[in-house]
Structure 1
Amino acid sequence: MRHDPLFERLWDGTAQMEEWTAAVSHGAITHVADNIITVHTTYFCGSVTAIRTSEGLVLIDTAKPETAKQTLDVIRSWDDSPIHTVIFTHGHIDHTSGITVIDQEADARGLARPRIVAHRNVKRRMERYEASHGYNSIAQSQQFNKPGYIYPIGQRRPDAVYDDTLSLSVGGERIELFHGRGETDDATFVWLPERRVLASGDFVIWVFPNAGNPRKVQRYAADWATALRRMEALAPAVLIPGHGPVVFGEERAAEMLRHGAEALEHLVRETLALLNRGASLDAVLHAVKVPEAYLGKPYLAAKYDDPEFLVRGIYHFYAGWFDGDAAHLKPPRTADLASELAALAGGAEKLAERATHLSEAGNFRLAVQLVEFASAAAPDDRAIQAIRAAVLRKSIENENSLMGKAFLAVYAREAEQRSKG
């Protein structure tokens, strides 16, 4: 076993991932096996694995724009060979953007740029990001609480693509690629059969699976579980997650893969059981929960995505966009509904006052709904906007997931700005 004391504390839950991020921020190397390393710079940047072969290096992912050069410099401190092949585990920028720095290095050294290998849908993803660039920039700025963020596009496309499986041989190293759907529809996990080393991509990320992102396209909880089961069957001796530290040992790797699959299977099974009885989305959202036995695992903590968001995604995957509430089939404009409710309550300020009371009592779901109605009914009322900001800020304090906090913060900032006129 090669785990250090910090890993052991992460595994038993006495250390937080923020401590690990601080420890690797200089650019840390994990020696995975002979001629294989994984480079880490921060939890929020995907892991980059380098494999030394007689034909040059093979890289699994390339880092994000902010850490790409640092990551390449760390790799170069280990090996200065040309980079022969780059494998994208999927098309998100924290895994693909470093190809620009890698290409620039190859050009400067007068070498051929490395070939890029990925699933066929990576190219389609990159094309979609260009078509929806404005929206994607907005969504990313909200999700990561970075106002004004511009999503980078224009990464080099894959040179070779595959559909279900692909076998590569580079410099005597056998590399098997497997496609699965999970966080994305273009995901790859990488298996080195002679080493029993598995690079999972973002199928494993040291938090609860990110299959319910509120502002992203459909994600695939059931397929994600299937991919994890497929990986578990390989019995890896080393598991390299898409984010977070490397896991050594067949038993721990199997546990991580199995528990992730079981948690997802539970959500899918329970959602479908209610859906097949005609339950509305409202009923499903408030009935289907992840057993605490899973959420208590340090690698399944609901710190990034929220299992409730996954339930919503599962429901819509099987049932479409309509949620089973007749009022939502052709809903009125929110402002019109809010004005009607405000009139019934005796004014928008009454809704805001009630929202404050509910917030103080810890009923944040109702509080946020009522204060948003008050805002929609009286968007220029500074006092109501100040109450709205306070209610939203208090709700943020009660929110566990990073996504929940970030999206609520968007509207809290808006309310604060409106309260000042």
Structure 2
Amino acid sequence: MTQEALFERLWNGTAKMEEWTEAVSGGAITTVADNIITVHTTYFCGSVTAIRTAEGLVLIDTAKPESAERTLAVIRSWDNSPIHTVIYTHGHIDHTSGIKVIDEEADRRGAPRPRVIAHRNVLRRLERYEASHGFSSIVQGQQFDMPGYVYPIGQRRPDLVYDDTLALTIGGERIELCHGRGETDDATFVWLPEKRVLASGDFVIWVFPNAGNPRKVQRYAPDWATALRRMEQLKPAILIPGHGPVIFGEARALQLLRDGAEALEHLTTGTLDLMNRGATLDEVLHSVSVPAEYLAKPYLVPKYDGPEFLVRGIYHLYAGWFDGNPAHLKPARTAELASELAMLAGGADKLAERAATLAESGETRLAAHLAEFASAAAPLDKQIQATRAFVLQRCIEAETSLIGKAIFAVFQRDAEKRAQ
């Protein structure tokens, strides 16, 4: 099947992104325009775009450690010119880590290492990754079930940073960089005005915007919508997402940008409306949702992040960490609260039994509360841990987002080990 045919199936929702990932797994080139290609190796690795200029290649992003060499080899099958400039669209490792491979190639050739350009906040991000290295390693290792995982740090810092916009001319090619906040606070989208080509970075990722990840720093759903509106005003003829296949045609590019902005704006206005009327986080979380027609679109499927997670992020963006429940202002230790509840229920086993019953009936949210209280009250009880593992498995089955499934799975594995 051709890339074009597969794209049409992705666009109309009859193919899943896993099929596209399999198709590009060996490293695939999409010809974007004259002297521009985008290289894909998997959905989970950011796309890398190469622009041929009279001064050498300009790369937008660099791939992640395990795919960087393959990505560079694909680029070299297209053009063997020196790499003049690398643009980081943001500081995540799947967009920056490949600079090591690129620099090593330049060193072998005896050529200058490329200039790296990014938004100023990329510097702060890379510093934060080093300061919280242990935490990042733990979180990523848990989420992907990779014990002993070490989060990659030490990516080369940018040589040139900018704040809001930066216009460049490299080898006769006009390249414009624009900053926005979305998944990160250091994000850049790249506009090639003469070709009407837009490289969105992770502002477009072929799933619902990843702006609520529970174990990552604050993300910016309202600003993400603003950035998409800025891109919409450019009227791109071709849109290169940070992840997933390239979109050709102004009508489709504008539709995707507009739909993403509207979905984020709906969550933001809904959250703010309730907050402005004094609603607590609990009330907001269970009242604000995205209209189903948006979630039905193949490029807004809530497969990785979940809209409910975004609502929580929006609330905290405007309101801080206090959720409106006075018991949470100076909370008791969870183990103490669990012990008290277990005593009132007639034992931790009673809490666990009720949790199992609720999980069986599909009430997984309530079941998870009781299972975790039972576990905190009797952490060494193997039967309670077995029940907890059962409840968390039901939570995994009920969850739609990959992030949610992965987090539930962390604690399910813990329960299974304690049950042995």
Measured against the shorter chain, the TM-score band is over 0.9
Whole-Å separation in 1 of the counterparts to 2:306 and 2:257: 19
2:322 is matched with: 322
1:130 is matched with: 130
Measured after TM superposition, the shift of residue 124 of structure 1 is 0.6
SS at match of 2:30: strand
SS at match of 2:372: helix
Verify: 1:15 aligned to 2:15, yes or no. yes
| Length-normalised TM-score, structure 2 | 0.99
Q: What is the RMSD of the two structures over their aligned residues, measured on CA atoms?
A: 0.8
1:275 is matched with: 275
Measured after TM superposition, the shift of residue 141 of structure 1 is 2.1
Measured after TM superposition, the shift of residue 390 of structure 1 is 1.1
1:156 is matched with: 156
SS at match of 2:352: helix
Measured after TM superposition, the shift of residue 127 of structure 1 is 0.3
1:408 is matched with: 408
Q: Could you tell me which amino acid in structure 2 is paired with residue 244 of structure 1?
A: G
SS at match of 2:168: strand
Whole-Å separation in 1 of the counterparts to 2:147 and 2:329: 33
Preserved contact between residue 144 and residue 403 of structure 1 (Cα < 8 Å) = no
Q: Could you tell me which amino acid in structure 1 is paired with residue 130 of structure 2?
A: E
SS at match of 2:71: helix
Measured after TM superposition, the shift of residue 148 of structure 1 is 2.6
Whole-Å separation in 2 of the counterparts to 1:345 and 1:410: 27
Deviations 1:60-91 (A, max 9, x none): 00000010000000000000000000000000
1:227 is matched with: 227
SS at match of 2:266: helix
Counterparts of residues 330-349 of structure 1 (less than 5 Å): 330-349=330-349
Measured after TM superposition, the shift of residue 266 of structure 1 is 0.3
1:218 is matched with: 218
2:196 is matched with: 196
Measured after TM superposition, the shift of residue 383 of structure 1 is 0.6
Larger deviation, residues 341-350 vs 386-395: 386-395
Measured after TM superposition, the shift of residue 144 of structure 1 is 3.3
Verify: 1:312 aligned to 2:312, yes or no. yes
Preserved contact between residue 225 and residue 264 of structure 1 (Cα < 8 Å) = yes
Deviations 1:279-310 (A, max 9, x none): 00000000000000100000000000010000
SS at match of 2:90: coil
Whole-Å separation in 1 of the counterparts to 2:377 and 2:389: 16
2:57 is matched with: 57
Q: Could you tell me which amino acid in structure 2 is paired with residue 405 of structure 1?
A: K
1:181 is matched with: 181
1:289 is matched with: 289
**Kindly tell me: are residues 67 and 3 of structure 1, through their superposed partners in 2, closer, same or farther at Cα, counting changes over 3 Å?**
closer
Preserved contact between residue 3 and residue 248 of structure 1 (Cα < 8 Å) = no
1:385 is matched with: 385
Identity %: 77
Deviations 1:178-198 (A, max 9, x none): 000000000000000000000
Whole-Å separation in 1 of the counterparts to 2:350 and 2:335: 16
Q: Could you tell me which amino acid in structure 1 is paired with residue 190 of structure 2?
A: V
1:78 is matched with: 78
1:30 is matched with: 30
Whole-Å separation in 1 of the counterparts to 2:339 and 2:68: 50
Q: Could you tell me which amino acid in structure 1 is paired with residue 30 of structure 2?
A: T
SS at match of 1:91: coil
Measured after TM superposition, the shift of residue 337 of structure 1 is 0.3
Deviations 1:149-175 (A, max 9, x none): 211000100000000000011100000
Specify every segment of 5 or more residues in structure 2 that has no aligned partner in the other structure, as ranges: none
Whole-Å separation in 1 of the counterparts to 2:8 and 2:142: 34
SS at match of 1:4: helix
Whole-Å separation in 1 of the counterparts to 2:359 and 2:230: 45
Whole-Å separation in 2 of the counterparts to 1:218 and 1:155: 22
Measured after TM superposition, the shift of residue 317 of structure 1 is 0.6
Preserved contact between residue 165 and residue 177 of structure 1 (Cα < 8 Å) = yes
Verify: 1:372 aligned to 2:355, yes or no. no
Counterparts of residues 139-154 of structure 1 (less than 5 Å): 139-154=139-154
Whole-Å separation in 2 of the counterparts to 1:80 and 1:24: 21
Measured after TM superposition, the shift of residue 3 of structure 1 is 6.5
1:167 is matched with: 167
Whole-Å separation in 2 of the counterparts to 1:209 and 1:169: 31
Measured after TM superposition, the shift of residue 395 of structure 1 is 1.3
Preserved contact between residue 229 and residue 257 of structure 1 (Cα < 8 Å) = yes
Q: Report the number of matched residues.
A: 419
SS at match of 2:174: strand
Q: Could you tell me which amino acid in structure 2 is paired with residue 241 of structure 1?
A: P
Measured after TM superposition, the shift of residue 48 of structure 1 is 0.1
